[in-house]
Structure 1
């Protein structure tokens, strides 16, 4: 007997004027495989054929997790060389840009883990509403990774450079209250109130002029863009991390559920 096909991840649902991008791997805390990252832009392009949509919500399936990040179990197979890591980063950035370039406002509805690439997705949204169960972090330093400048620019739009460094240097996890104080999220609500609050925010947006929403989003995005002083250097540094023994050790330690032993090589 053949096994059941893998469920589509993510999936797009449309309910009247509200679209939902649902991260659909609850058994893995909605972690995203490479195939899932690749699917995000093509799924979102379908919204162009649904002109009545006024707002998009990004959430995780299952009611317990937003997104635990990239599926690290794949890394040794698909992100182990400079070229494959560069391609992986480009696919990640394309997913973030697909959210940022949507004509309509995008709201991240966050509960449980919002980590690594999952936090990157949330930061690519226009607003972030989080349950008090939510927690946040970027564990790149624990894996021997460095994020590309395009991914970090959204972090720097949300928090101060000092808090960005705190998040990146420590690899720590921050609760919803800490995230609110830093600016990672816009609001925190009780778990029972998350859906109601997101629905109310959608209703408010829908009641406003669509052309005004589109013009405002485009103007704010363009005016807030940061020009990295030397993106070539940042990309080279990220590639050096991928080629390091520390990166291989970080991935092995994660999969073996132990602390990594980094040597700086």
Structure 2
């Protein structure tokens, strides 16, 4: 694709946007870190997508990871001690995450996640904010928040429950288990699985459908379905948000981050 915006020749690991005709691609651009996003990368996503809202010729957005080996390993945990060390900082971090999710979910056109390799934590949150999740058989999925002593953002949990049953959502969050692409398909976490070499062909096929179908019909369908889905989840999330802040204030969270950086199992004490 021809890039309207592309990374500089420096060590820019923030996402960038490519637009070719009626199709745009959002590229998560940190392949050396399995496309884990720093805080600046999360903040960049709504900035990149905002101009697309006024692009009358746009038919779809594809979200994929750079390098062809990973979709997104989630947040860059190495920076947590600096940017997520207190409840207030964590609340700001989650707000930036949620803004990225909402930017994808509210984009008027179809948004498709093309998933290869790891799709973890916040990376899975990005995929869940997309309208369709099309995966390679190399893909695998997990929400490791409980291993870090964190709470998954309530907005992301709402998107998770739109995709899978409440019991499967609980299982993913309680266990932090890794799911294969086939297992993810079985519970509805993703929509399709293809052999690694066939993923791009399937994405291209979907884009042809989007280009051939009536743009206003696609936009109306997306808006209507999102409104109907969110209406059933219009709960007061203040208690969940309070519990999320409690997690970040806990000794367990500090232990979870240290254990991750020290490559050992955390010892949680529930306080």
2:133 is paired with a residue whose SS is strand
- Among 72, 86, 90, which residue is 1:85 paired with? 90
Deviations for 1:54-113, whole angstroms, at most 9, x for unmatched residues? 010000000100000000001111101111011011100000000011010000000000
Contact 2:91-2:245 at 8 Å conserved across structures? yes
Rounded Cα–Cα distance in structure 1 between residues aligned with 2:25 and 2:118? 19
Residues 110-149 of structure 1 aligned to structure 2 (within 5 Å):
110-149=115-154
2:25 is paired with a residue whose SS is strand
1:77 is paired with a residue whose SS is helix
Q: Structure 1 segments of 4 or more deviating over 3 A?
A: none
**Displacement of 1:228 after TM fit?**
5.1
Contact 1:149-1:228 at 8 Å conserved across structures? no
1:168 is paired with a residue whose SS is helix
- Match of 1:264? 270
- Match of 2:4? none
Rounded Cα–Cα distance in structure 1 between residues aligned with 2:117 and 2:177? 15
**Displacement of 1:151 after TM fit?**
1.5
- Match of 1:212? 217
Rounded Cα–Cα distance in structure 2 between residues aligned with 1:228 and 1:243? 27
Rounded Cα–Cα distance in structure 1 between residues aligned with 2:155 and 2:242? 13
Residues 17-166 of structure 1 aligned to structure 2 (within 5 Å):
17-166=22-171
Q: Is 1:252 aligned to 2:266, yes or no?
A: no
**Displacement of 1:124 after TM fit?**
0.1
1:136 is paired with a residue whose SS is strand
- Match of 2:15? 10
Rounded Cα–Cα distance in structure 2 between residues aligned with 1:147 and 1:23? 21
Rounded Cα–Cα distance in structure 2 between residues aligned with 1:90 and 1:81? 14
**Displacement of 1:7 after TM fit?**
1.7
Q: Unpaired runs of 5+ in structure 1?
A: none
Rounded Cα–Cα distance in structure 1 between residues aligned with 2:190 and 2:91? 29
TM-score (structure 1 length as normaliser):
0.97
Q: Unpaired runs of 5+ in structure 2?
A: 1-8
- Match of 2:236? 230
Question: How many equivalent residue pairs?
Answer: 262
Deviations for 1:116-167, whole angstroms, at most 9, x for unmatched residues? 0000000000000000000001000000000221111000000000000110
Rounded Cα–Cα distance in structure 2 between residues aligned with 1:39 and 1:8? 11
Contact 2:37-2:74 at 8 Å conserved across structures? yes
- Match of 1:182? 187
Rounded Cα–Cα distance in structure 1 between residues aligned with 2:180 and 2:153? 25
Rounded Cα–Cα distance in structure 2 between residues aligned with 1:207 and 1:77? 47
Rounded Cα–Cα distance in structure 2 between residues aligned with 1:48 and 1:5? 29
2:126 is paired with a residue whose SS is helix
**Displacement of 1:5 after TM fit?**
2.7
